Amino acid sequence: MSGLLWGLATALAALLVLAIAVLATPVKLALTVRTSPRWRLTIAARLLGGVTPPIPIHDSARRRPKREKPPAKEKRGAGMSRKTRASLPRAIAGAPRLVTGLLRPIHLERLAVDADIGLADPADTGQLFGWFAAATYVLPSTSALSIDVRPDFSGPRASGEVGAELSFVPVAFIPPGVRFAWRVFGPRA
């Protein structure tokens, strides 16, 4: 019996160490948007600093079965509770700080744009292409950043591919979330 308990404790300890490793090491998130032959968005994650193989999170090309609507629930009360209504202004006031706190730990590792863009008016297409050309000369020339945009003066068109790789440490999202919760639900000052 003690051997079984020891094995169970060892397995739980190993799972705890693995969970801490996943939360405390960088996660690489790869996003790809393609327009040809159809619009397609794919998102995949690699854990432990990118060591694991890609884990597919979303692929817009896969068809999902339609869900049936759940039966309608009875409405108990109208609207929000008084406590929720009282904390709503604090939540709205703290939302910008929460968003910046959640975006700060996210780092752009790679961005690649390869596209043909055209607008209805060729003059507008030229102006838009001028903005892209200016941006490509202002941005630093690194292997992590690749922008190749070609104008199409024949009419409206947007085709190509955009790929990005983001990196973040999941534990870094905890402090902004705790600060937001404290600001909204903490003691009233």
Summarised one tens digit per residue, pLDDT across range 64-73 is 767 777 776 6
Q: Look at residue 101 and tell me if it is in a domain.
A: no
Instruction: Write down the residue that tokens 């607008």 correspond to.
Output: 119
Tens digit of each residue's pLDDT (9 = 90 or more) over 116-171: 999 999 999 999 888 888 877 787 777 788 888 889 999 898 899 999 999 999 99
Mean pLDDT calculated for residue range 25-31: 95
Q: Look at residue 147 and tell me if it is in a domain.
A: yes
- Which residue range(s) make up the domain with 30? 2-60+106-168
Q: Look at residue 89 and tell me if it is in a domain.
A: no
- What's the per-residue H, E or C state across 13-79? HHHHHHHHHHHHCCEEEEEEEECCCCCEEEEEEECHHHCCCCEEEEECCCCCCCCCCCCCCCCCCCC
| Domain total in the chain | 1
Total-model pTM: 0.72
Q: Look at residue 82 and tell me if it is in a domain.
A: no
Residue 33 has phi, psi (to 5 degrees) of -120, 125
CA separation for the pair 177, 103 (Å, rounded)? 12
Q: Look at residue 152 and tell me if it is in a domain.
A: yes
Tell whether the model's pLDDT for residue 189 goes beyond 90: no
Q: What is the pLDDT of residue 61?
A: 83
Exposed / middle / buried, residue 35 (Cβ in 10 Å: 0-12, 13-18, 19+): middle
